[in-house]
Each structure stands twice: as C-alpha cells, then as structure tokens.
Structure 1
Amino acid sequence: MSVAEPRRIALFRHAKADWPQVSDHERPLAERGRQDAAVAGRKLADTGLTFDLALCSTATRTRETWKLAVHELSHRPRTVYEERVYDASPGELIAVLDEISDDVRNVILIGHNPGVHGLAEILAGAAEGDVRERMNRRGFPTAGFALLTFDGPWKSVEPGVATLTDYWAPSE
C-alpha cells in the first residue's frame, strides 16, 4: 500500500461497564454495555470501512466491547491487545499509532476516556460538516466512536494532522 493513500482511524470508547468489587482493569460490561457494543458494531459496519488492525486495551470492558462489536463487521481485522492503551493519555496513544506498519491502511483503537476523546480532539485539525460540534456537544459517551482520516505514514500522526469525518454515540 502506498503512504499516499488516505488512512483512517476509528477511535472507539468501550461500552458501559458494571461496577462490581473488582479492580478497574477487570470491570466487565453492564447489560446496557453489551447491547450498545453490538449496536456500535453495526454502526461501524455501516461506515463501509474495512479495518486492517484493531488495537484494543487489555481491560476486560474493552475486550468484551470489541468481541461484541467485531461480530457485526464484514471483515475481522487482526487484533492486538495492547497494555499501553489502558488508561492512556492522547500523547501515549499517538506513540502507539506511530508504531503501526505502513502496510496498514485502516485502524480501530478500542480504549478509554478521557484519552480517546482527547485524541479525537487533538488529531482533528479539520472536521466535515457539523461532526466536531456534535462530538463536543455529546462528549464521548460509552460505545461512541469517531472516524478520522489523514494522509502520510503512521509515524506522521501528530496533533492537527487529521480530518474528523464521522462521529456516532448511542442514545442515552
């Protein structure tokens, strides 16, 4: 693949988690989260994007979210469970994205707030239509996702490089 072809990043926040007496890392999805994860997967499928790589936090709720969402996609991407995505800042997430091989075109990152929302805001130097306004008005609720596009190699991911092209969040 040529680095001249546009690349796409989906930033996907895990679905609603339960609060049992376990560590934060081990929190499972709540019933609503299981439902929202599948709906989010269908909405991701509706975008028509085919993901080459999924980078998923190692937390239980992100792994469960991805397991439910990926079943709705027409193509299952290679999935890497990445410890550095758990509780990561936008800068730490950029460092993870910078390491992606240039033969990968489209990536989905399944993570946590505030990092995922912050990353969407930081990367989006531009936005299509009212997408930024909708994202900022809603925040980045559980099971929400933002789609961004940019040109160039993965190691060029930095603030302002991308265009925010889509945003979706479940109704609350």
Structure 2
Amino acid sequence: MMKRLIMVRHGKSSWEYDVADRDRPLKERGINDAHLVSKTFLKDRPAIDFVFSSPANRALHTAMIFSRNLKFDLQKVQIVDDLYDFSGAAVQSFLKTLDDSLNAVMIFGHNYAFTNLANTWGDRYIENVTTSGLVQIRFEQTTWESISKGKTEQVIFPKHLK
C-alpha cells in the first residue's frame, strides 16, 4: 500500500518566557491557528495510523490540538526525539525506519526541516511551511525506507483560511 505523510509545523510560539527552546509554549495565535487548520483538515482527512511529535512543548501542544479535533486515539500518539530537528536529516532517518504496517502518519515538528522535506519529497515548491501549516504528501512507494519523490496533495496554511 502507498505511503502518506502529513507534516504539521508547530503553532506560533511565545518568546515571552525565559525558558529553554524545548519548553517554549504556544502563543494564543498559535493555539487558534492550530484549531483552524485542524478543523479544515478534518473535512476530508485520510485515515491516519499514527501520530508522532517532537518533544518540544510547542509541537506537542499543536499535536494535542489536532488529535483532539480529529478525535484521534491518544494511545497512537508518540513523542519522538528525532523530530526535534531543524535540518530534516533526523526526521528523514526516523521516517525511513517506520514499520510498513503504517500507511499514513502525521508528524509534528519544526522548520527548516519541514520546508526542506516538503520540497525534497513533494512536487510543489513551498517557500516556507508556516507555523500551524500542514503539508500532505502521497508516495507511490509501499515501504517507508524507499520513499523518495511524492505528490503534494494538500497544503493548508492559516493565512489561507482567514
């Protein structure tokens, strides 16, 4: 079965607090945008087998907003250190090791990694995956290890919905 990847960049984060990067929370706008994008995505979303999130507070909070709005089973949400990555190399390595019984996964993480991967794997140039931005790519390959060039099937950015 073909593979489907849904990448969501974390919502807009707050710099108000003197905390480590991993601990930075979402701003109110980030929370609102995550609700907006997830509810738009809900209308014709594919079945999702598993959700993986970066351990960063802002990514995990975004993942929780999406999971709740999509009524996704929280037992199938996992925190993965490799998704706390800004280049895309660790994200790519992680995805290539996924179990092939998973056909559609949603990942929550960071830029520049997600813009890089959207342009590496998708067939549509995206200048920048915005905060709370979603990019869905479908691959004809049947194993995660072999994914290469896919088709960008959906791009939802908050600014397109306001």
Cα distance in structure 1, aligned partners of 2:44 and 2:50:
16
SS at match of 2:35: helix
With 68-77 and 141-150 compared, the bigger mean Cα shift is at: 68-77
Task: Find the counterpart in structure 2 of residue 59 from structure 1.
Answer: 56
Inter-partner Cα distance in structure 1 for 2:38 and 2:113? 21
Query: Equivalent residue of 1:71, what SS?
Result: helix
Please, what is the CA RMSD of the aligned residues? 1.5
CA distance in 1 between counterparts of 2:62 and 2:45 reads 20
Q: In the aligned structure 1, how far is the partner of 2:2 from the partner of 2:143?
A: 9
TM-superposed deviation, 1:87: 2.4
Per the TM alignment, residue 74 of structure 1 is displaced from its structure 2 partner at its CA by 4.0
The letter of the residue matching 2:139 is F
Q: Distance in 2 between matches of 1:74 and 1:25?
A: 26
Work out whether residues 123 and 162 of structure 1, in 8 Å CA contact, stay in contact via their aligned partners in 2.
yes
Indicate yes or no: 2:9 matched with 1:7.
Answer: no
Distance 1:140 1:53 in 2: 22
Q: Deviations over 1:68-115 (max 9, x none)?
A: 111111433611100111124222211100111111110011000000
Identity of aligned residues (%): 25
The answer (yes or no) to whether the contact 2:25–2:57 under 8 Å persists in 1 is yes
- 1:162 and 2:147 correspond: no
| In structure 2, distance between residues paired with 1:81 and 1:88 | 16
Are the counterparts in 2 of residues 7 and 106 from structure 1 also a CA contact under 8 Å?
A: yes
Gaps of 5+ in 2: none
What pairs with 1:66-145 in structure 2 (closer than 5 Å)? 66-76=63-73, 78-124=76-122, 126=123, 132=124, 135-136=126-127, 139-145=128-134
The one of 136, 149, 155 equivalent to 1:147 is 136
After superposition, what is the alpha-carbon deviation per residue over 1:26-66, rounded to whole angstroms, capped at 9, x for unaligned?
00000111111111211221232121111100000001111
- SS of the aligned residue for 2:69 comes to coil
* C-alpha contact (below 8 Å) 1:45/1:74 kept by paired residues: no
TM-score by length of 2: 0.90
For 1:18, give the aligned amino acid.
S
TM-score using structure 1 length: 0.85
Letter in 2 for 1:40: V
Structure 1 unpaired stretches of 5+: 127-131
Give the corresponding residue for 1:129. none
CA distance in structure 1 between the partners assigned to 2:71 and 2:28 by the alignment: 24
1:25 counterpart = 2:22: yes
